[in-house]
Amino acid sequence: MARNQEHSDAMYARAREVIAGGVSSDARRLPGTPIYVDHASGSRLWDVDGNGYIDYVLGQGPAILGHSPDVLAEAVSAQMRRGVTYSAQHLAEIEVAERMRSMVPCAELIRFNSVGSEAAHAAIRLARGHTGRAKILKFEGHYHGWFDPVLFSVHPPLDQAGPADHPVLVPGSGGQQQNQAADLVLAPWNDLQAFTDAVARHRGEIAAVVMEPVLCNSGAITPDDAYLAAVRQICDDEGILLIFDEVITGFRLAPGGAQERLGITPDIGVFGKAMAGGMQVSALAGKAEVMESIASGKVSHAGTFNSHPVAMAGARAVLEVLDEKREDIYPEMERRGRRLMNGIAAIASRLGVPMLVQGTGHLFQIYLTDAADVRDYREFATTDRSTMTRLHGLLLDEGINMVPRGLWFLSSAHTDADVDQTLTAFETALARLR
């Protein structure tokens, strides 16, 4: 059944008069009218037309405790009465850094930013400044922020992307200059031989290898067994820093992020989203020897809103819960997520719809494909993404909100009753799609 969107349609028309494209981030573009949220609480949100949704977008992942949890609201409200911004130091930034150091394997020293793109950019500058080398090796399909020097070959058209084992750098936006990719090296992910060959071609020139340790911007792909360990060893042998972009996976896959779950410690980690439960905080964390290049002033790192007091109060409160209640939160989130994954796969099989479901439970991806596995961007790109967009719309009609490309996030606020309702709605939507 189609949703009532009268007020949303009117707001969208009004927004297009004053906001370029009607939305403030390209990630929020939809084929039709986007959701205009009135309020959100726990696992649910409601739009301005009164439609309710079980929410698996969670602000693109940050709302790991659900929407508007009391612990976050109380911490932020209390700090608002003490001051909004200081451009000075305060206790909360120390306490958040101490908490991060106790949770995250690579976090010996930390610096804070506001958004993930800033922290990723800082990590790359730090790697170049620390090593004295210029080149950065990134992987096809991985996203490290929207800034020009790294927005290459995130989702390139396959007819422009070059050979699978030796891909070419494709700008992600008009306005980017191709010469900004002069110091980027591109490799396919999850292909150890191709990675080894790329490093050999640029021996002595690469400052850092940067990756999403679980690829979430092109599916929900966990690396092959032993792949990360081999990459870690090659980086050590070649004097290359290893950067994990954990803006999505940090504090979501485990209290210490993907590096804890997968057992590989990078030299530098980039964090955001879940670390503050929805407040705008990101972090650059790394081994002391590397971070000393910032501490000494050799590498510049600045920002008016770094360690923003209100946002840091939120991070302090959320990380305390995630750390001290880890044995309750993470196993239950994974259990419910896997129950949902298994239920979706069973429904698709029963209806005869080719579908693959991959992920950890804390987050997962559904693909419309006959393939038995998706291991990298190119395999993701060959799945039926246009029909996935249609499925997204049908799920919205049934009161289920997922990321349009097929990614789902779980929170500690989701319940077994939510899973039951979601599976019933999913079967209805998939039957309509078929």
418 among known catalytic residues: no
**Both tokens assigned to 40:** 């959100």
pLDDT grade for 367, boundaries at 50, 70 and 90:
very high
Residues 205 and 124 in one domain: yes
Residue 204 domain-assigned?
Answer: yes
Contact 287, 267 (CB under 8 A): yes
Return the CATH number at 380.
3.90.1150.10
Last residue of a domain, one of 291, 324, 357: 324
298 among known catalytic residues: no
Last residue of a domain, one of 324, 357, 384: 324
Residue 417 domain-assigned?
Answer: yes
> Mean pLDDT for the chain?
96
- pLDDT at 126 > cutoff 80: yes
Residue 392 domain-assigned?
Answer: yes
Residues 262 and 367 in one domain: no
Residues 170 and 319 in one domain: yes
Residues 278 and 347 in one domain: no
Nearest of 293, 250, 245, 291 to residue 270 by alpha carbon? 245
138 among known catalytic residues: no
- pLDDT at 434 > cutoff 90: no
Residues 97 and 43 in one domain: no
**Both tokens assigned to 27:** 């990630």
Residue 367 domain-assigned?
Answer: yes
If you search the block for the tokens 């290459």, which residue do you land on?
A: 152
Nearest of 4, 3, 66, 10 to residue 40 by alpha carbon? 66
Alpha helices in 116-186 (DSSP H): 116-131
d(CA 384, CA 216): 17
Residues 190 and 113 in one domain: yes
pLDDT grade for 108, boundaries at 50, 70 and 90:
very high
24-66: per-residue pLDDT in tens?
988 888 888 999 999 999 999 999 999 999 999 999 999 999 9
Residue 238 domain-assigned?
Answer: yes
d(CA 332, CA 152): 37
- Exactly one of 12, 191, 227, 273 is catalytic; name it: 273
Contacts for 277 with CB less than 8 Å, ≥ 6 apart = 62, 63, 64, 65, 69, 72, 314, 315, 317, 318
* Neighbour count for residue 94 (Cβ, 10 Å): 14
Residues 32 and 89 in one domain: no
If you search the block for the tokens 């610096």, which residue do you land on?
A: 111
Return the CATH number at 199.
3.40.640.10
Residues 100 and 62 in one domain: no
Residue 269 domain-assigned?
Answer: yes
Residues 194 and 281 in one domain: yes
Nearest of 346, 340, 387, 349 to residue 368 by alpha carbon? 387
218-258: per-residue pLDDT in tens?
999 999 989 999 999 999 999 999 999 999 999 999 999 99
Residue 237 domain-assigned?
Answer: yes
Residue range 310-329: mean pLDDT, rounded: 98
Last residue of a domain, one of 324, 356, 376: 324
pLDDT grade for 1, boundaries at 50, 70 and 90:
low
pTM: 0.96
* Number of domains the chain is built from: 2
If you search the block for the tokens 């009753």, which residue do you land on?
A: 417
Residues 225 and 211 in one domain: yes
The H or E element containing residue 367 is: strand 363-367
Angle subtended at Cα 201 by Cα 197 and Cα 207, rounded to the nearest 5 degrees: 100
Query: Is 83 buried (19+), middle (13-18) or exposed (0-12) by CB count in 10 A?
Result: exposed
Nearest of 136, 114, 140 to residue 123 by alpha carbon? 136
Residues 142 and 223 in one domain: yes
Residue range(s) defining the domain that contains residue 63: 6-68+326-433
Strand segments, DSSP code E, in 33-93 are 37-41, 44-47, 52-55
Residue 1 domain-assigned?
Answer: no
Residue 6 C-alpha from the chain's centroid: 32
Residues 178 and 200 in one domain: yes
- Exactly one of 12, 53, 56, 143 is catalytic; name it: 143
109-120: per-residue pLDDT in tens?
999 999 999 999
Contacts for 427 with CB less than 8 Å, ≥ 6 apart = 347, 351
150-206: per-residue pLDDT in tens?
999 999 999 999 999 999 999 999 999 988 899 999 999 999 999 999 999 999 999
